[in-house]
Chains A and B, each alone.
Chain A
Amino acid sequence: MAKGNKQRFRQRAAILLSIILVTGFGAAICRLGYLSLAQGSVLSEKAVEQQLKDTTISACRGTIYDTNGKVLAQSATVWQVVFAPAYFKNDTQRQIVADGLAPILGMSVADVLAHAKKNNYFEIVKRRIESDARDKILKFIDKIEKEDGISNVIELIQDYKRYYPYGNFASAVLGFTGSDDQGLAGVEYQYNDYLTGKSGRIITAKNANGMDMPYNYEQLVPAQQGDSVVLTIDETIQHILEKYVQQEIVKDKVINRAVAIMMNVNTGAILGMAVEGGFDPNHPFDIADSATASAIKKLPVAQQSNAIAAAQLKQWRNKAISDTYYPGSVFKIITSSMALQEKVVDDKWHYTCTGSLSPAPGVVIHCSNTSGHGTQNFLKALCNSCNPAFMTIGKSIGAARFYKYFQAFGFTQKTGIDLPGESEDIFFKHDNEPEGYMDAVDLACASFGQNFSITPIQLITAISSVANGGNLVQPYVVSKVLDSNGNVVKATEPKVKRQVISSDVAAQLRSMLQTNATTGGARNGYVAGYHVAGKTGTTEKKDHLQGPDIEDYISSFCGFCPAEKPQVALLVYFDTPTSGAYYGSMVAAPVFGQCMKEILPYLHIEPQYTAEELSNLDIKADSYVGDSVAKAKNSIQNSGLTSIVKGSGDKVVRQIPESGASVPKNGTVVLFTDSKSAGEQVSVPKLTGLSMTEVNRIASMYDLNVCISGASSSGGNTSVTQDIEQGTLVSPGTVISISFANSSSDDSEDIVR
């Protein structure tokens, strides 16, 4: 028994030993091996995730400059508030932080609390807070660290916010950025890769309390500032374009936005691109048009979000490149180029307009002058914008040649402008016919620019080729991309795609268009002293925005200057004016003239006045205040002006127009000699709807000066606007700007009936 026991004891000891060693230690080693080897990568990744704190450093987005270096878009430093909620020790801490931060951030306590309850180390609570809020938060962080022992929970990380100093200005070109600083439209989108820069990172090892570990784990990848972009857009030109387009929109109640594009005809550089009905890039999601905004507010709540989305898409849409339209009679420039290049017309060519033409059996197309223009040579037909003449020319060119030139002028391709969202043309489509096929009616309509759609940018590019001697250029809005040190990263080289027409033909056409803008249908776009060439267009639209029974029109004007050696081309177009005036010559041409009148001197294009124009030039008034009345009268007379003395004093105490202001030739300077007379005022009379002579006569009756703009010199023109409203009280001698436009019934406009 004893021996048996002893043996059993040893046996049991051995079994125990093997159980502990083999089973116990074996299982432990297997388990350790499984975790450290098989699961190692997964687990260590998770461990690293909690140990390393990876903080993204936003890169400062590049600046957008105009061509002269004025800042159009810039990023400024703001801050983002980030939680590391895993470091909260309890809900009391979360509540303290939420209560304290919510008012500073302008968020609800519940929202902040929701962020605080996450289980991560990087929870963005609010982006883009300004410096003052940041200061408050820094104080708050200090306070809770001292008073409540909460630390490492709130962090402020540098971020950037986009500012557009000019607000709703050039928004179609600039575009805007989204919440992550990414470009969403315009140059911001197109050049996003350059502008964005590279965000950097700081990777630090943090212990579980969020403090840096005493190890050198920190790795810094600095952020690289984005490249800056220099536009071809000139802020001054852009402002002028936007100003006059906006004025016209108000005046003629244009309901479907308007566009003005100014292009350097030789390079294709866009100097200005005004797309009115745009948005403020600082607040791109707000509806900029107050009428639309208030209309949306009146809608039932259910429909509002859709309406807002539609309105946003509309205001973001760059009408100059994304919308297609029938170019109308402006396209006759292109038809003329074809005709001249193909020698379909010559000096002996003439056409007798009877007011209508039938291009195909059963189809009659009327001329705007339904009684007919009579017999015209080609120049006359162009200046009259005679539709039947151009239908005849189109027929002579033929559909095949027409389409060949249509392609050559770049209408079937995108221009390749460096802006997003460019549309393609919409040409005639016939089943079972090859591309570019036109039947007789198509060809007839196409000859005067109807029934096919192109974009405004395509049109001005094509017309620029006429202006520059036949070369089709590629338009662009960005001239240079600069890195943060100012080195040129990328420069846009002007690109000539092809020569479309010969320089002779181009020169011939330019002089015709100059005639057209001086005495022809486009004379309302004339600018005194400058040899403007241009063509009006009035497009019949088919979309009936105003209702089923009312015809909608697009009034447009495209021209360039100086006619002999053009530098800039300008296309203006107004989609659906509703005031009653809709002719291109009435709506668009004056805007063209107003813009050109300011822009050309700005571009240092020297005026070349005719003798008549010289006689009408304004004179700068000298200062006569303090002079004796006799001396003042004498010097006024010497400078070619007349004087009127008010009051009974010996010395001049006030003068109108004031010193330095411009006075029209033969204008009047009113001298006030005592304080009683100095307060004298007159009520401005109605000066519109009158001829030049009448305006001058009435103005002198009221002791007022008038400054004439528009094609006043041609017969039959009447005044259409006055800058100071009728009935306004002004001092005698005040200069009132009067614009004249041709409104006679025989205006050669291209209305298809």
Chain B
Amino acid sequence: MPERNNYSLHSGSSVQNSQGRTVNRRLPQTPPQSAFSGKVSKRLSKTQMRFKMFSIRLGLDLPFCLLVLILVTIGLIMMFSASAPVSYYTTGDSYYYLKRQLIFAVFGIIAMIAISYFDYHFFHKLAMPILGLSFILLIAVLFWPGNSEVKRWINLGQFTFQASEFTKFALILFFAHWGAKYFDKTSTFRYGVFPALAVLVPTVGLLALEPHFSGIVIMTLLTAVMMYLYGTKLRWFVMALAGVLVVFFVLLITNKLGYAMERMDGWGQALTYTTNQMWQTTWQTRNSLYAIGSGGFWGLGLGQSRQKFLFLPEPQNDFVFAIVVEELGFIGAIIILGVFGLLVWRGITMSMRAKDKFGALLGMGLTAQVGLQVVLNIFVITDFLPNTGISLPFFSSGGSSLLMLLVQMGIILSISRNANIEKT
């Protein structure tokens, strides 16, 4: 199996041996100098491994798992708090959104644990088919019945999901696959830049047709992250940035961004609106700012938000964190962001110790996606970026995206099982 050698990151470590999984032993031309691998091997005996919780094969990363569970729990509570009035006024049932979200959370967590047992290398093989499926979905969504001006959702009766949610995963998976496969060549244009553009450009094009401006931003950022990780030279980023700017301005001038542009209109003017039109356009952002400002340092207390009473439209979605700040205050926001930060830190450091390059790239990409979404979401609700519709992972209402997110967390946990890192 010579192919495997290409993406085997660690060589000759004890962890590899302990598993039933067959990993090609390479000659010890590289001494086990990895600081991480050395430590782990010293501390964990085989007996210890056997009695570890979740360690049917190898233990999953308990800190990461706990962080995910904490975020899911806090997210559910806060989403419920934020959505209760809207839920009551629109459906007559305060628990409407909670119920749906809870079902998906439960299934999502089960799926997460289950997937953590799967060998993520399975996805290595599936990378290209999944990318293909992503394109099919992106095309299908444009013609899917039920969408009006904005074509983002694929409606399967009870179950609705955003096509771009899948695209994000497909994109990360593709880059992990590609990066791992051609790790030594990715600094070249042919292996590093060209395939990235080949995937990104049609994706962005299809997203622009939906239109889905925030999707474009996230896809582009994720592509950049993955390219950066697999070693694309920095000059390409500079050039790409220039290219993006050019494209952006062309679109700006030709006024093709339509929907996103309309949202951009009120950017930064939520509090300084001058026209009725502006007042209407910036309604959501303004009320988000009011909510955040009302929170102060200590917040109004859990459940005490006033802005959720129909002032802030759809408080259960992208703007849920504004209600969180209103209720839990700046201190609550810092704690939650701290948990997110720990998650990102754990996800990336753990991925660094993944068994192979594919696992490392995939884990980092999926983790970075969570971190980016958190940052972008907060930028949006604080009127730091235009209101473009970026949801907050674990918090924003939306069953399919929560399920998708937890599946991805499951993949990270699966990577962690084989990672050379202390998992308690």
Question: A interface vs B, CB < 8 Å?
Answer: 1-3, 5-6, 8-10, 12-14, 16-17, 20-21, 24-25, 27-29, 31-33, 35-37, 39-44, 46-48, 50-51, 117, 119, 205, 207-209, 213-215
Interface residues in B303-343 (C-beta closer than 8 Å to A): 306-307, 309-311, 325, 329-330, 333-334, 337, 340-341
Residues of A within 8 A of B382 (CB): 28, 31-32, 35
Can you list 17 residue pairs at the A/B interface with Cβ under 8 Å? Answer: A6-B9, A16-B348, A24-B372, A27-B375, A32-B333, A32-B382, A36-B296, A36-B297, A37-B296, A40-B295, A46-B293, A47-B306, A47-B307, A47-B311, A119-B279, A207-B310, A208-B311
Q: Which residue of B lies closest to A28 (CB)?
A: B378
What number of A-B contacts does a CB cutoff of 8 Å give? Answer: 153
B38 at the interface (CB under 8 A from A): no
B109 at the interface (CB under 8 A from A): no
Residues of A within 8 A of B384 (CB): 27, 31
Q: Select one of A25, A36, A37, A40 contacting B375, CB under 8 A.
A: A25
Q: In the bound complex, how far is the Cα of B330 from the Cα of A2, in angstroms?
A: 46
In the complex, the answer to whether B310 meets A208 with C-beta atoms within 8 Å is yes
Give the shortest distance, in Å, between A115 (CB) and chain B (any CB): 14
In the complex, the answer to whether A43 meets B289 with C-beta atoms within 8 Å is yes
Give the shortest distance, in Å, between A209 (CB) and chain B (any CB): 6
Q: Besides the contacts A32-B330, A32-B333, what 8 more A-B pairs have beta carbons closer than 8 Å? A: A13-B229, A13-B352, A20-B368, A24-B372, A24-B375, A28-B379, A36-B333, A213-B309
Q: Select one of A8, A13, A208 contacting B364, CB under 8 A.
A: A13
* Secondary structure call for the B interface: helix
Q: In the bound complex, how far is the Cα of B303 from the Cα of A213, in angstroms?
A: 13
Most A CB contacts (10 A, CB to CB) among B89, B289, B309 go to B309
Q: In the bound complex, how far is the Cα of B378 from the Cα of A25, in angstroms?
A: 9
Closest 8 CB pairs of A and B: A43-B293, A24-B375, A207-B309, A47-B290, A208-B310, A28-B378, A20-B371, A44-B294
Give the shortest distance, in Å, between B255 (CB) and chain A (any CB): 25
Q: Which residue of A lies closest to B348 (CB)?
A: A17
Q: Which residue of A lies closest to B273 (CB)?
A: A119
Most B CB contacts (10 A, CB to CB) among A3, A24, A48, A213 go to A24
Residues of A within 8 A of B351 (CB): 13
Residues of A within 8 A of B230 (CB): 9
Q: Which residue of B lies closest to A215 (CB)?
A: B306
In the complex, the answer to whether B295 meets A208 with C-beta atoms within 8 Å is no
Q: In the bound complex, how far is the Cα of B85 from the Cα of A51, in angstroms?
A: 14
Count of chain B residues with Cβ under 8 Å from any Cβ of A?
55
Q: In the bound complex, how far is the Cα of B9 from the Cα of A13, in angstroms?
A: 14
B344 at the interface (CB under 8 A from A): yes
Q: In the bound complex, how far is the Cα of B345 from the Cα of A117, in angstroms?
A: 52
Residues of A within 8 A of B297 (CB): 36-37, 40
Q: In the bound complex, how far is the Cα of B276 from the Cα of A671, in angstroms?
A: 88
Q: Select one of A12, A25, A27, A40 contacting B340, CB under 8 A.
A: A25
Q: In the bound complex, how far is the Cα of B372 from the Cα of A27, in angstroms?
A: 12
Give the shortest distance, in Å, between A35 (CB) and chain B (any CB): 5
Q: Which residue of A lies closest to B384 (CB)?
A: A31
Residues of A within 8 A of B175 (CB): none
In the complex, the answer to whether A25 meets B374 with C-beta atoms within 8 Å is yes
B151 at the interface (CB under 8 A from A): no
Q: Which residue of A lies closest to B357 (CB)?
A: A9
In the complex, the answer to whether A25 meets B330 with C-beta atoms within 8 Å is no
Give the shortest distance, in Å, between A52 (CB) and chain B (any CB): 9
Give the shortest distance, in Å, between A650 (CB) and chain B (any CB): 94
Q: Select one of A21, A35, A46, A51 contacting B309, CB under 8 A.
A: A51
Q: Which residue of B lies closest to A209 (CB)?
A: B310
In the complex, the answer to whether B330 meets A213 with C-beta atoms within 8 Å is no
Instruction: Convert B344-388 into 0s and 1s, putting 1 for each residue whose CB lies closer than 8 angstroms to a CB of A.
Output: 110011011000010010001000100110110011001010000
Q: In the bound complex, how far is the Cα of B297 from the Cα of A5, in angstroms?
A: 46
In the complex, the answer to whether A3 meets B30 with C-beta atoms within 8 Å is yes
B76 at the interface (CB under 8 A from A): no
Q: In the bound complex, how far is the Cα of B33 from the Cα of A283, in angstroms?
A: 101
Give the shortest distance, in Å, between B346 (CB) and chain A (any CB): 10
In the complex, the answer to whether A35 meets B292 with C-beta atoms within 8 Å is yes
Q: In the bound complex, how far is the Cα of B150 from the Cα of A372, in angstroms?
A: 111
Q: In the bound complex, how far is the Cα of B349 from the Cα of A10, in angstroms?
A: 9
Residues of A within 8 A of B279 (CB): 119
Residues of A within 8 A of B296 (CB): 36-37, 40, 44
B231 at the interface (CB under 8 A from A): yes
Residues of B within 8 A of A35 (CB): 289, 292-293, 382
In the complex, the answer to whether B309 meets A16 with C-beta atoms within 8 Å is no
Residues of B within 8 A of A214 (CB): 85
In the complex, the answer to whether A28 meets B228 with C-beta atoms within 8 Å is no
Q: In the bound complex, how far is the Cα of B290 from the Cα of A51, in angstroms?
A: 11
Interface residues in B177-229 (C-beta closer than 8 Å to A): 183-184, 225, 228-229
Q: Which residue of A lies closest to B276 (CB)?
A: A119
In the complex, the answer to whether B184 meets A2 with C-beta atoms within 8 Å is yes
Give the shortest distance, in Å, between A46 (CB) and chain B (any CB): 6
Q: In the bound complex, how far is the Cα of B310 from the Cα of A33, in angstroms?
A: 24
B291 at the interface (CB under 8 A from A): yes
Residues of A within 8 A of B368 (CB): 16, 20
Contacts A9-B357, A20-B375, A40-B295 given; does A1 touch B310 at CB 8 Å? no
In the complex, the answer to whether B337 meets A13 with C-beta atoms within 8 Å is no
Q: Which residue of A lies closest to B311 (CB)?
A: A208
Instruction: Convert B281-304 into 0s and 1s, putting 1 for each residue whose CB lies closer than 8 angstroms to a CB of A.
Output: 000000101111111110000000
Contacts A35-B382, A43-B292 given; does A207 touch B375 at CB 8 Å? no
Q: Select one of B184, B228, B293, B345 contacting A21, CB under 8 A.
A: B345
Give the shortest distance, in Å, between B281 (CB) and chain A (any CB): 13
Q: Select one of A6, A21, A42, A51 contacting B311, CB under 8 A.
A: A51
Q: Select one of B229, B292, B325 contacting A9, CB under 8 A.
A: B229
In the complex, the answer to whether A50 meets B311 with C-beta atoms within 8 Å is yes
Residues of A within 8 A of B271 (CB): 46
